[in-house]
């Protein structure tokens, strides 16, 4: 009997809703952003993650569609286990992560005396890595 691969994606997700950040009246998250890493941009508001930014979670869904009028609401997975795309510097199992831009995450930098007020920005624990494509992460 062989060992069956264990799929941890979407185990025990914790979801929350947020307003979508806008610039000049346009939403910064679009239908194409679903599945990507996002960050807090303001109180109760999320937007695209930038390089070195603190990960909030994975964008699961958006209300409305790209062409609809109105202010969209985002559903974000903020806890549990999920899969996110990666970019260089690629994380390895056990790493914590930060934003890499373009909806991806990367290995968090080493701790230094320059960490922001409130502590280190690194988040999560990488559970498995799929080459340079994506990783499964515990959002803890």
CATH number at residue 83: 2.40.300
**Is 3 a domain residue?**
no
Residue 125 scores a pLDDT above 80: yes
Q: Which one is predicted more confidently, 94 or 70? A: 94
Label residue 112 by pLDDT band (50, 70, 90).
confident
Q: Is the pLDDT of residue 34 over 70?
A: yes
Q: What is the mean pLDDT of the chain?
A: 90
Residue 58 domain-assigned (yes or no): yes
Indicate whether 10 pLDDT > 70.
Answer: no
Are 128 and 7 within 8 A, CB to CB? Answer: no
Q: Does 9 fall in a domain?
A: no
pTM over 0.95, yes/no: no
pLDDT given for residue 68 in this prediction? 81
Tally the domains of the chain.
1
Residues paired with 57 in a beta bridge? 38
- The DSSP output letter for 32 is G
Cβ–Cβ contacts within 10 Å for residue 134, how many? 17
- Quote the domain boundaries for residue 60: 14-110+118-139
68 in a structural domain: yes
Q: Please indicate, yes or no, if residue 103 is contained in any of the structural domains.
A: yes
Flag whether 33 is in a domain: yes
The reported pLDDT for the residue numbered 54 is 94
Does residue 105 belong to any structural domain of this protein?
yes
* Residue 62 located in a structural domain: yes
């Amino acid at each position: 009997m062989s060992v069956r691969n264990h799929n941890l994606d979407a185990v025990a997700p914790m979801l929350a809703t947020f307003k979508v950040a806008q610039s000049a009246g346009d939403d910064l998250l679009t239908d194409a952003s679903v599945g990507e890493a996002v960050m807090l941009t303001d109180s109760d508001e999320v937007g695209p993650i930038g390089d070195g930014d603190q990960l909030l979670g994975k964008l699961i869904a958006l209300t409305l569609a790209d062409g609809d009028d109105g202010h969209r609401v985002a559903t974000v997975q903020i806890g549990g286990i999920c899969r996110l795309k990666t970019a260089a510097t690629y994380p390895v199992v056990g790493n914590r992560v930060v934003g890499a831009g373009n909806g991806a995450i990367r290995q968090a930098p080493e701790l230094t005396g320059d960490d922001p007020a409130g502590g280190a920005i690194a988040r999560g624990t990488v559970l498995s890595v799929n080459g340079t494509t994506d990783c499964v992460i515990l959002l803890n």
